[in-house]
Structure 1
Amino acid sequence: MQVAQYVTEQLRMWGVKHIYGVAGDAILPWLDVIGKQKDIRYIACRHESAAAMMAAAEAKWTGRPAVCTATSGPGTLNLLNGLADAYADHAPVLAITGQVETHKLGGPYKQYVPQEDLLRPLCLYSTTVAHPDAIGNVLHRAYVTAGSQKGVAHLAICKDIFSRTTVWPLVETLPRLRTGVGVDRGEVEHAAELLLQAKKPVILMGTGSRESANLCLQMAEKIGAALLLTLGAKGTVDEAYPLVLGGLGEGGSRAGLEALAQADLLVALGASWFPRSFIPAGLPVVQVDHNPITVHAHPRLFPVTAELGDVLPLWLRRLEGKSPDSGWIQQVKRWHASFWQEIEQLVDQGTDELIKPETLMHALSQVVDDNAIIALDTGEHSIWFNRAFRGTAQFPIFSGKWRTMGYGLPAAIAAKLNNPDRQVVAIVGDGGLQMTAGELMTAAAHNLSFPLIVVNNKTLGLEEWKMVQTGLAPFGTRLENPDFVKWAEACGIEGRRVSAVHELLPALKEAMKSQNMILLDIQCTLPTLTERKREIPFQAQATNVYNERKV
């Protein structure tokens, strides 16, 4: 069996459904094999960075290794941005790249670069395949490493190796990629004592709480805790639930800050994001996470290193006799009402006014399906999504710690490919869309249908806002945009411009019902964010020099 055939068949046996990539000289023998089979769908992207973003987004959704490919040299280099997103958000991605022929390794040949050196900062495992009988062992190791350690693995396969014969046998059975972390009863018991003593607890739910959301909710009810949701946890709990106070950080709520100011314990459940400058100094913290690397370095934090789904049932049994503080519960419910009222005031606009991004996000939450997948790009609109979108059971996919622009459209494509019968909505900024706009043709080529909502305010809104907040004169942030409607139509996609508040809700409803892909060019105001840090009613654990700097 040729190496190209071996790789394709082995990936098929392991359940790979898509390969995202861009054609190039060093992978042509592999593409020839991929094109002759039907079990794995090849997604021909317009840019390698977008291909890696699609793989990262698929991995975040499925939890299984997703695959992207590119040629040697510039193709491999272009993958880096998307692979960095997978690295930062612990998404299992396998990148298989072409490399120059074996006899050219290390020489002054076109498109040669030592790829292991290039990708080392982002990869858990990276190697070059220079012999056909090496492929079985290293492919197995790369796939298992990416899947079990949740990160990026990389194989560079020399072009001539793809066409050579390997004697390595196919391996059908993989080891279990997810292994639980054993519960330390001492840790669980000590943390339970802190929970028993707490009268004013607050729970911060993160991305890692999604699979245990019902148990988290039972826990909140048992101890009478206010609930804060990170962006990754949005949709784990219906925000109409009276203990939910919105988010934390710049995308959070004033009610959440007021609750933290009076809290006597913060319980972080599956939350690797921990904005220290929004947490009161001296507030004790309990954190549960299966990965010790994501436990925060904090002098008053007690860690429980275990699977959240294993810890919560033990706590619930241990806390059976605890009654929540009725006064605290009533206060949390009042904060919940003020949290909803704050949003209603923010989106109160005249019908002929230009649309504020918070108005857009609030309106969107009224028309999307409860189980929709929301692909978010990075920018001011993502903060407003966190503040103003009232989540029920949606699933947001976004670039969390890497925060790359251009992520929304590739992520939506991957989400729709993996969920053809589920509603997918992409929300992108005008700047972010122009970074990966070529992928409109990728979506069109595969007949994908989802609404693409463009927040068009002709500026890099978040950067402009940051410059203003720090006393800098905005420069280099304003955009001269193309006609996005005509751009969509040139790609064979329906486009519509929405210019005033009274047009917004009908256009969103129509887009959600459409069986075709549609781009909505939403004409929005310039940045409207207010700085949450200025509303903090307590001394924070860590000051933010950037925001206090006067220029």
Structure 2
Amino acid sequence: MTSAVEEQVQEQHCSTRNNDIDNDVTDTSHTASKPRTHVRTVADLFVECLVNEGVKTMYGIPGEENIPLMEAIARDGRIRFILTRHEQGAGFMAATQAHLTGRPGVCLATLGPGALNLTLPVAQANASTVPLVAICAQGNVTRLYKESHQIVDLVSVFRPLTQWTSMVVEPASVPEMVRKAFSIAQRNRPGATCLILPEDVAEMPAPEDAHPLPLPDPMDFAPTEDTIVRAVDIIRSAKHPIILAGNGVARGHAENRLLELAEQLNVPVATTFEGKGVISDRIPLALGVVGFMRHDYENFAFDEADLIIAVGFSIQQFDPKKINPNDDKTIIHINTFIEDTDAHYSTALNIMGNIDATLKALIAALREHRITFGVSHPKIHELLTDEYDAYLHDDSFPMKPQRIVADTRRAMETDTDIALVDTGALKMWMARLYPTYYSNTCVIDNSLSTMAWTLPGAVSASLEHPGRPVLAVMGDGSFMMNVQEIETAVRVGARIVILVWVDEAYGLIKWKMDIHDGAHEYVDFNNPDVVALGMSFGAKGHLIESADELYPVLRAALRSGSGIDIIACPVDYSENMKLIDKLGEVDFSG
């Protein structure tokens, strides 16, 4: 809540404003036929600052308290406002746009219930180090100190979910506050910020001398020479190093440098779910993803490793206990921020700096010392390839997860087609088996692991990359959580395909229950007619009724070039426990 001083200041502002309004009413009663001249308001200044930050699109839902801001957006005309059907959808659209572009996404909600609906995507963006600026309306400052209609202490709500949250209480502060929100969202550890604009403040006259602040040049910081020397010494003493790559590699555009480091050292690279694609699966040194809930093939490479070179990794992407259960491995941490404390992620060296510049300096130093290893894990490649190939022609129906993954990859004909993978049992299968060749072409949230983000996310991905095939891969549980955004997709002319894996259950929780106690409960449900539901929104609907139908239907939908396609594909998740049993029998000792 605001301080007593701020409340007093605002009462003075509001008193002045109300007197001005009273005078305006009196004056215009004698000149009703004359058009009123618009006075530049705080809302207008706010929009000018957003435009200055490069904002071209905003997603959200208007409310009574943000009418002044909506009118300012319309007057300015340089920001495209995408009206969504739920604030969650708005936040996920903004976060996905930011993930794919690296530029802050912007979403808008009104006060109270609207703002509370925005908390989930804001928290998701912050956990996944995605730059996002949320803008929320608030009631008049003069009633924030008491119980009042729809009033919630939004600063207290958003502060633990963001890098920074604040409320505008002084018109002249707008340029600084907007600049600060965008600056913090893009700093060394990107994340979410939130600005709260009370209705009465938005309607105040903007100070004549208040204008957007100039944008600073981007700051890149390289590691010091002695830090690189220490890294080389640690690597020289290792016998079985391995590289762990996270989503920071893509954020820092360091994919090529990562490959160069791996080839220079001749060591394997495993990625997190969120780092999937930062090294092409066609590269022999690529091991695949690590972070599955059980000891997967890639984990055996970490079992043998004595050094982990973690590049762009944060512990929110998965529990480091999975790869360092005894905390006995040496870890070099390379990222733009220092990692949080974890008993299984004790770092011998933290290198904070531009990831691409850091890798470039490290590669040069390693080349000078002619350090190379020759660590390889052909059995891991063999096991993954065998698992993928074994189901290419499996005709059973409902379809096996492995066959759905393989047919999806075949239908996504170019390496740069975008797949957004939702949370659920399908995430485990897609992350493990879906071959990926470029970063941000198989996008997975494995930090907050939010359900239902991919349908709205696909909308903004399509608008950001028109003409590029975009596929949202969802379970039927997550599909129903944000299904209303199909209407948004149709209305704004997005071009997306939604592939729904249908099992009429919360499949991932069922899987974990079966692992835990051999049984499950309270996870099964009934679906509406998914195809008819999609068609009722104006989408094209397709029901898969045999295993040989998915590939041609999906391929045709991805290449049709217009409209929204919903594909419902029944899946047989009995493979889940078979995989757990199989992994428990894998033996690398030979």
Fold conserved between structures, TM > 0.5: yes
2:480 corresponds to 1:429 = no
Q: Which moved more, 1:428-437 or 1:56-65?
A: 56-65
- CA gap of 1:309–1:296, structure 2 versus 1, over 3 A, is farther
Q: What is the match of residue 175 of structure 1? A: 216
Question: What is the one-letter code of the residue matched to 1:196?
Answer: R
Q: What is the match of residue 381 of structure 2? A: 336
Instruction: Give 1:434 deviation, angstroms.
Output: 0.7
2:553 corresponds to 1:512 = no
- C-alpha RMSD of matched pairs (Å): 2.4
Alignment of 1:300-339 (within 5 A): 301-320=348-367, 321-322=369-370, 324-326=372-374, 328-329=375-376, 332-339=377-384
- CA gap of 1:106–1:512, structure 2 versus 1, over 3 A, is same
Instruction: Assess if the C-alpha contact under 8 Å between 1:253 and 1:339 holds in 2.
Output: no
Question: What is the one-letter code of the residue matched to 2:570?
Answer: Q
Which one of the candidate residues 370, 382, 387 is aligned to 2:432? 387
Per-residue CA deviations over 1:473-501 (Å, capped at 9, x if unaligned) read 31121121111111111000101011321
Instruction: Give 1:324 deviation, angstroms.
Output: 3.9
Per-residue CA deviations over 1:477-528 (Å, capped at 9, x if unaligned) read 1121111111111000101011321111111211111112211111111353
2:409 corresponds to 1:370 = no
The SS at the match of 1:293 is: coil
Per-residue CA deviations over 1:388-411 (Å, capped at 9, x if unaligned) read 101122523333311111111111
- CA gap of 1:394–1:190, structure 2 versus 1, over 3 A, is closer
Distance 2:95 2:126 in 1: 9
The SS at the match of 1:233 is: coil
Q: What is the match of residue 157 of structure 1? A: 197
- CA gap of 1:293–1:84, structure 2 versus 1, over 3 A, is same
Q: What is the match of residue 459 of structure 1? A: 505
2:126 corresponds to 1:80 = no
2:99 corresponds to 1:60 = yes
Per-residue CA deviations over 1:317-357 (Å, capped at 9, x if unaligned) read 2222536445x44xx34532332123222x25532522122
Alignment of 1:221-240 (within 5 A): 221-240=263-282
Distance 2:255 2:341 in 1: 20
Give the gaps of 5 or more residues in structure 1.
Answer: 540-551
The SS at the match of 1:435 is: coil
Question: What is the one-letter code of the residue matched to 1:87?
Answer: N
Q: What is the match of residue 398 of structure 2? A: 354
Instruction: Give 1:257 deviation, angstroms.
Output: 2.6
Instruction: Assess if the C-alpha contact under 8 Å between 1:498 and 1:523 holds in 2.
Output: yes
Q: What is the match of residue 71 of structure 2? A: 32
Q: Which moved more, 1:136-145 or 1:493-502?
A: 136-145
- CA gap of 1:325–1:291, structure 2 versus 1, over 3 A, is closer
Q: Which moved more, 1:396-405 or 1:452-461?
A: 396-405
Which one of the candidate residues 218, 242, 249 is aligned to 1:209? 249
Instruction: Give 1:226 deviation, angstroms.
Output: 1.3
Q: Which moved more, 1:257-266 or 1:518-527?
A: 257-266
Question: What is the one-letter code of the residue matched to 1:94?
Answer: V
Instruction: Assess if the C-alpha contact under 8 Å between 1:425 and 1:450 holds in 2.
Output: yes
- CA gap of 1:119–1:334, structure 2 versus 1, over 3 A, is closer
Distance 1:325 1:126 in 2: 48
Question: What is the one-letter code of the residue matched to 2:308?
Answer: L
Instruction: Assess if the C-alpha contact under 8 Å between 1:461 and 1:527 holds in 2.
Output: no
Instruction: Give 1:38 deviation, angstroms.
Output: 3.4
Per-residue CA deviations over 1:281-323 (Å, capped at 9, x if unaligned) read 3332222112013575534643322322122222222222536
The SS at the match of 2:118 is: helix
Instruction: Assess if the C-alpha contact under 8 Å between 1:201 and 1:263 holds in 2.
Output: yes
Question: What is the one-letter code of the residue matched to 1:4?
Answer: A
Per-residue CA deviations over 1:226-274 (Å, capped at 9, x if unaligned) read 1212222222222122122211121798442332233332221112135
Distance 1:302 1:111 in 2: 49
Distance 1:51 1:206 in 2: 26
- CA gap of 1:394–1:252, structure 2 versus 1, over 3 A, is farther
- CA gap of 1:191–1:296, structure 2 versus 1, over 3 A, is farther
- CA gap of 1:371–1:110, structure 2 versus 1, over 3 A, is same
Question: What is the one-letter code of the residue matched to 2:151?
Answer: Y
The SS at the match of 2:456 is: helix
Q: What is the match of residue 129 of structure 2? A: 90
Instruction: Assess if the C-alpha contact under 8 Å between 1:21 and 1:42 holds in 2.
Output: yes
Q: What is the match of residue 545 of structure 1? A: none
Distance 2:348 2:511 in 1: 33
- CA gap of 1:38–1:242, structure 2 versus 1, over 3 A, is same
2:288 corresponds to 1:246 = yes
- CA gap of 1:247–1:124, structure 2 versus 1, over 3 A, is closer
Q: What is the match of residue 45 of structure 1? A: 84
Question: What is the one-letter code of the residue matched to 1:526?
Answer: Y
- CA gap of 1:275–1:112, structure 2 versus 1, over 3 A, is closer
Instruction: Assess if the C-alpha contact under 8 Å between 1:397 and 1:411 holds in 2.
Output: no
Distance 1:357 1:499 in 2: 15
The SS at the match of 2:220 is: coil
Distance 2:336 2:439 in 1: 24
- CA gap of 1:191–1:440, structure 2 versus 1, over 3 A, is same
Q: What is the match of residue 542 of structure 1? A: none
Instruction: Assess if the C-alpha contact under 8 Å between 1:251 and 1:387 holds in 2.
Output: no
2:157 corresponds to 1:115 = no
The SS at the match of 1:319 is: helix
Alignment of 1:102-141 (within 5 A): 102-141=141-180
Instruction: Give 1:44 deviation, angstroms.
Output: 0.6
Instruction: Give 1:538 deviation, angstroms.
Output: 9.2
Instruction: Assess if the C-alpha contact under 8 Å between 1:199 and 1:324 holds in 2.
Output: no
Instruction: Give 1:537 deviation, angstroms.
Output: 6.3
The SS at the match of 2:274 is: helix
Instruction: Assess if the C-alpha contact under 8 Å between 1:116 and 1:128 holds in 2.
Output: yes
The SS at the match of 1:109 is: coil
Instruction: Assess if the C-alpha contact under 8 Å between 1:17 and 1:39 holds in 2.
Output: yes
Could you tell me the percent identity over the aligned residues? 26
Give the gaps of 5 or more residues in structure 2.
Answer: 1-39
Normalised by the size of structure 1, how large is the TM-score? Answer: 0.91
Instruction: Give 1:275 deviation, angstroms.
Output: 3.4
Distance 1:119 1:158 in 2: 15
- CA gap of 1:533–1:344, structure 2 versus 1, over 3 A, is closer
Instruction: Give 1:197 deviation, angstroms.
Output: 3.4
The SS at the match of 2:212 is: coil
Instruction: Assess if the C-alpha contact under 8 Å between 2:228 and 2:365 holds in 1.
Output: no
Question: What is the one-letter code of the residue matched to 1:417?
Answer: L
Instruction: Give 1:11 deviation, angstroms.
Output: 0.9
Instruction: Assess if the C-alpha contact under 8 Å between 1:228 and 1:248 holds in 2.
Output: yes
Distance 2:393 2:118 in 1: 43
Q: What is the match of residue 5 of structure 2? A: none
**Structure having the higher Rg:** 2
Instruction: Assess if the C-alpha contact under 8 Å between 1:87 and 1:152 holds in 2.
Output: yes
The SS at the match of 2:298 is: helix
Normalised by the size of structure 2, how large is the TM-score? Answer: 0.85
Instruction: Assess if the C-alpha contact under 8 Å between 2:423 and 2:450 holds in 1.
Output: yes
Instruction: Assess if the C-alpha contact under 8 Å between 2:399 and 2:570 holds in 1.
Output: yes
Instruction: Assess if the C-alpha contact under 8 Å between 2:279 and 2:439 holds in 1.
Output: no
Question: What is the one-letter code of the residue matched to 2:176?
Answer: N
- CA gap of 1:227–1:256, structure 2 versus 1, over 3 A, is same
Instruction: Give 1:381 deviation, angstroms.
Output: 0.7
Distance 2:221 2:340 in 1: 14
Instruction: Assess if the C-alpha contact under 8 Å between 1:252 and 1:386 holds in 2.
Output: no
Distance 1:480 1:348 in 2: 30
